[in-house]
Amino acid sequence: MPEKNTFYITTPIYYVNGAPHIGHAYTTISSDVVARFMRMQQRDVYFLTGTDEHGAKNAEKAEEEGLDPQAFVDKNTAQFQMLFDRLSISNDDFIRTTEERHKKSVEVFMTKLQESDAFYEDEYEGLYCTGCEKFITQKELVDGLCPDHKKKPEVIKEKNYFFKLREYLPKVKELIARGEMKVEPESRRKEILGLLDHEVLDDFSISRESVKWGIKVPYDHSQTVYVWVEALQNYISALGYGHNDEKFQSYWPADVHVMAKDIIKFHAIFWPALLLAAGLQPPKKIFAHGFFTVNGDKMSKSIGNVIDPNELIDTFGSDATRYLLLSQFPFGQDGDIKADKFLEQYNADLAGGISNLLHRSISMTDKYFKGAVQEKPETHLIDVSLVKDAISEYREGFENMQIDHALKQIMHLVRHGNEIIEQQKPWELAKTDTVALGYVLYDVLELNRIISFLIYPFMPEAAERMQIALGVTYEEHMPFDEIIEWGTLGVGTMISKTEPLFMRK
Ligand code: MSP
């Protein structure tokens, strides 16, 4: 069977109990970068993001604000959508769990699980943390409080339906061990296999009696589907699973679910187990990036270190915000963000790097050759093998979900271009050797052209502006190998002057 050309990528659906912060922006931007890269590889991409709108956590916040839960989630979801628009997120779909299409799929899925005898009823008594939206054990508490939310858990005693998780664990383990469902990076795979080996993972409750804000269990309306079980299903409900499932047939199983490590257990163990129980295929890959702190501390309102992504966009613009967030630490590892480093880095890499390279190349071509690209040199001044190596590293970066590695290759090329200009001093050649001058400018313009394509997944607006300035066009059907082939810039192409891509600040 020919390999499917589709590529289905998802972000977590975010809780809307507050405004979006840079953690949400980080995951969504990184998934967008991968989605855009895959589109450049001519993959038929379906990129999904969205919001997790049910559950006790959202309901409690709505009550605090004196709003009806639907009005509350509408208001906050709009903030996520606005932010993603401002960040040029190219999602093909945005799922909200309060949508009718989600409810329909959830009902079909839950009925399927019931029919396959995956549930049993039991009386449950335990501790529930609404911050985590999960049951926690006495052992996990620190001074009687949930260690993550510093909140006293609620004591719950109610009738629940339980999912026979234990029955499916051997199969989940086999999927991971055989690489049929990849869990990346490797450290996370080990963590999950360790959990499967050592932690006694127990059957878990898939419904709640006392929570009303949610979707009713189809065969027992006294129960609401547990918010996590419902939320995970967004990945199939967005594809119309169970009622309008053309997209489901094309795109499922997902190529990759992207998230941070905080929710990997839900995705790498519970989700595939539920899918197996319903007779559906598990996702192909779960990728968990790291968790970041801000100025050394966990982001929190009380510490006052929460960074509003909208403020970053106001200061630096959308592309630069994308760049600054992704370039702080390796994707997949934990890291620390220091907001006061952003300005320095913006000026060095973007204003002084990419923008400077384009503008000096363009203005010299304008000044010395009235904007026309000159003959190609026989032997290049740019180190073409260095360019080729950087491109193959860039590709490898994407293949391994190391998008920061791909990003570094671009900066490497930018530095190389600026160095060549410094070494060749075109302004001196202009007085002595215009042929040699034309060669230098050809090479640096060509390097700019290649950079414009490589930066497209990361900084789509800058990429487009570079291409307009360089007189080149890009259409999605153009094969990647061809567009990044060295020497494609046509002799005689007219460049046009443009405002700096990134103004020094
Ligand atoms: N609603 C659930 C997810 C359901 S998916 C079926 C949820 N929502 S959340 O709003 O808490 O989002 C968690 C996700 O936000 C993390 O997995 C990560 O993608 C992102 N991040 C939130 N804070 C972050 C950091 N400090 N660092 C990195 N990513 C962060 O969990």
C-alpha–C-alpha distance, residues 29 and 41, integer Å: 19
What pLDDT was estimated at residue 137? 85
What pLDDT was estimated at residue 380? 83
Select which of 24, 103, 134, 359 is catalytic.
24
Phi, psi of 87 (to 5 degrees): -85, 10
What are the angstrom distances between the C-alpha of 172 and each of 167, 175, 192, 273?
10, 5, 10, 6
What is the side-by-side order of every strand in the sheet holding 44-52? 93-96, 44-52, 6-15, 256-260, 285-289, 182-184
| Closest C-alpha residue for ligand 1 atom 29 | 23
Testing ligand 1's pocket by substitution, the residue of 9, 10, 24 carrying the most ligand atoms inside 8 A of its CB is 24
What pLDDT was estimated at residue 158? 86
Scored b (16 or more CB within 10 A) or e, 266-297 reads bbbbbbbbbbbbbebebbebbbbbbebbbeee
C-alpha–C-alpha distance, residues 503 and 243, integer Å: 50
What pLDDT was estimated at residue 298? 87
Residue 415: its H or E element: helix 403-424
CB distance 464 to 472 below 8 Å: no
User: Which residue bears the tokens 């271009």?
Assistant: 417
Dihedral-angle region of residue 463 (phi above 0 means left; psi in -120 to 50 means alpha; beta otherwise): alpha
C-alpha–C-alpha distance, residues 52 and 69, integer Å: 13
What pLDDT was estimated at residue 18? 92
- Distance from residue 281's CA to the centre of ligand 1 (Å): 24
User: C-alpha angle with apex 298: 50 to 53, nearest 5 degrees?
Assistant: 25
| Higher per-residue confidence, 189 vs 148 | 189
What pLDDT was estimated at residue 381? 86
CB distance 410 to 455 below 8 Å: yes
| Closest C-alpha residue for ligand 1 atom 30 | 23
- 190 catalytic? Reply is no
| Closest C-alpha residue for ligand 1 atom 7 | 14
CB distance 5 to 46 below 8 Å: no
Phi, psi of 209 (to 5 degrees): -85, -40
Q: How confident is the model at residue 475 (pLDDT cuts 50, 70, 90)?
A: confident
- 257 catalytic? Reply is no
Select which of 57, 102, 103, 146 is catalytic.
146
What pLDDT was estimated at residue 3? 67
- Distance from residue 142's CA to the centre of ligand 1 (Å): 22
Testing ligand 1's pocket by substitution, the residue of 17, 22, 26, 130 carrying the most ligand atoms inside 8 A of its CB is 26
Strands 154-163 and 119-129: antiparallel
What sign has the CA pseudo-torsion 52, 56, 62, 65? Answer: negative
> Considering only CA atoms, which of 454, 451, 427, 431 is closest in space to residue 441?
427
Number of DSSP helices (H) and strands (E) in the chain, helices first: 21, 15
pLDDT at 94 over 60: yes
Joined together, the tokens standing for residue 162 give: 């339980």
User: C-alpha angle with apex 39: 446 to 240, nearest 5 degrees?
Assistant: 170
C-alpha–C-alpha distance, residues 21 and 260, integer Å: 14
Select which of 102, 129, 285, 359 is catalytic.
129
- 171 catalytic? Reply is no
- Distance from residue 286's CA to the centre of ligand 1 (Å): 14
Instruction: Write out pLDDT tens, residues 320-353.
Output: 999 999 998 899 899 999 888 999 999 999 999 9
- 416 catalytic? Reply is no
pLDDT at 476 over 80: no
- Distance from residue 414's CA to the centre of ligand 1 (Å): 33
Instruction: Write out pLDDT tens, residues 101-112.
Output: 999 999 999 999
Select which of 61, 102, 103, 132 is catalytic.
132
- E strand residue ranges, 170-267: 182-184, 204-205, 207-208, 216-217, 220-225, 256-260
Tell me the β-bridge partners of 14: 51
What pLDDT was estimated at residue 113? 97
- 104 catalytic? Reply is no
| Closest C-alpha residue for ligand 1 atom 6 | 232
- Distance from residue 259's CA to the centre of ligand 1 (Å): 7
Closest ligand 1 atom to residue 292 Cα is 27
Q: Residues of the chain with pLDDT > 90: what percent? A: 85
Q: Hey, what amino acid is at 194?
A: G
Q: What is the mean pLDDT of the chain?
A: 94
Of 58-62, 104-108, 155-159, 487-491, minimum mean pLDDT range: 155-159
CB distance 238 to 95 below 8 Å: yes
Of 136-150, 210-224, 267-281, 420-434, minimum mean pLDDT range: 136-150
| Closest C-alpha residue for ligand 1 atom 28 | 291
Contacts 24+ apart (CB under 8 A), 480-483: 480/40, 480/41, 480/42, 480/453, 483/453
What pLDDT was estimated at residue 138? 85
- Distance from residue 493's CA to the centre of ligand 1 (Å): 46
What pLDDT was estimated at residue 132? 87
- Distance from residue 350's CA to the centre of ligand 1 (Å): 28
Q: How confident is the model at residue 2 (pLDDT cuts 50, 70, 90)?
A: low
